[in-house]
Amino acid sequence: MQLNRRSFVARGAVAGAASATLAAPAIVSAQSTITWRMTSAYPKGSPFYMDGPGSATDLAKRVEAMSGGRLRIQVFGAGELVPAFEGFDAVRAGTVEMNHANAYFWTGKTFAAQYFTAVPFGMNFQGINGWLYDGGGQELWNEVYAPFGMIAMPCGNTGVQMTGWFKKEINSVADLKGLKMRIPGLAGKVYASMGVDVKVLPGGEIFPALERGVIDAAEFVGPFQDRRLGLHKAAKFYYTTGWHEAATVSELLINKAAWDKLPRDLQAIVSNAAAACNVIGEAWCQRANSDAMEDLIKNHRVVAKPLPDPVIKALRTETEKVLAEAVAKDPLVKKVHDSYFSFKAKFDRWSEISEEAYHVKVRG
């Protein structure tokens, strides 16, 4: 039989139209927009945390751009939807899908959360990234949060933080007793065990409390962030040791049920955007802190120096005691602790051969 050309073309057109009709709903579905909400422990306008490279806002923009608009994240600063330190409960309840903060704010929920922000006398930015991304830390992080129906991942890092601002010099361990200090996390527990009256305040409340004498000392982040809060106007002694937070991880906390509903490509986009912000945010901190530290010393007469060696030694001893008590009480804390410090031991040996050798022999 000979096939009529016009008939063939007409039939093909009809078949094509039918195929397009069937395919259209799938295409529309694939391109539909998912909107999530993300709260933060930090107020709108906060550099690094809420605005600028590596911030919560930057993360949301990257996710939307990489997903072609398929996943949009609405960002809310502290107090806009929930108070600063209630993001954990909001994500757990499914009130919001995400929260941007630091895991050590949740030590009241689970002590093990501390290890995923910073551990006193712990690892620096390179070390903590090695543990999280390639040393089992990420898997443990999700295991810690599994009972709460959440997962988490790093999405920023401040690098080494400063010990903090003090109205009076610290010359000995005795000077710490009775001191009222704003400091969160495990470092707060260490200070408390040494007689410090520890306070946990959101960033916006630190300066007025320090200025009015409600507190005698305060730790926040580093030179850029601290100068922005005006802490140098309320206290002049700036201790630089950074014993308590050698690298401070920002946490992207996600409701597990919401996460499981995301297509795999969108999950990959969120993970990679968070990883990008982790690196980019830390890089921004290095530049911003370098400039700010120089300004504080040269133009604001800030006295910057490390804590005395006996004080550091006492802080290390107390840190070991606090950690030992926590490990003894909770098998999961022990599991995280052992993993963290086992990795740290290997990293320290390598660092002595690589980084430290460079600083001593090359930089002088």
Domain holding 102: CATH number? 3.40.190.170
- By DSSP bridging, strand 164-166 and strand 237-239 are antiparallel
In a domain, 206, yes or no: no
User: What was the pLDDT predicted at 25?
Assistant: 42
* Spatial contact of 180 and 317, defined as CB atoms under 8 Å apart: no
User: What was the pLDDT predicted at 356?
Assistant: 82
In a domain, 312, yes or no: no
User: What was the pLDDT predicted at 31?
Assistant: 64
Which residues in the chain show pLDDT less than 70? 1-31, 361, 363-364
Scan for tokens 């022990």, then name that residue: 334
The one-letter amino acid code at 227 reads R
User: What was the pLDDT predicted at 358?
Assistant: 79
In a domain, 150, yes or no: yes
Calculate the CA dihedral of residues 216, 220, 225, 228 and round it to 10 degrees: -30
In a domain, 27, yes or no: no
Range of the domain at 275: 32-158+249-287
In a domain, 154, yes or no: yes
In a domain, 228, yes or no: no
In a domain, 183, yes or no: no
User: What was the pLDDT predicted at 329?
Assistant: 96
In a domain, 243, yes or no: no
* Spatial contact of 254 and 261, defined as CB atoms under 8 Å apart: no
Listing from the earlier edge strand, what are the strands of the sheet with 249-255? 71-76, 34-40, 98-101, 249-255, 150-157
Domain total of the chain = 1
User: What was the pLDDT predicted at 202?
Assistant: 83
User: What was the pLDDT predicted at 184?
Assistant: 84
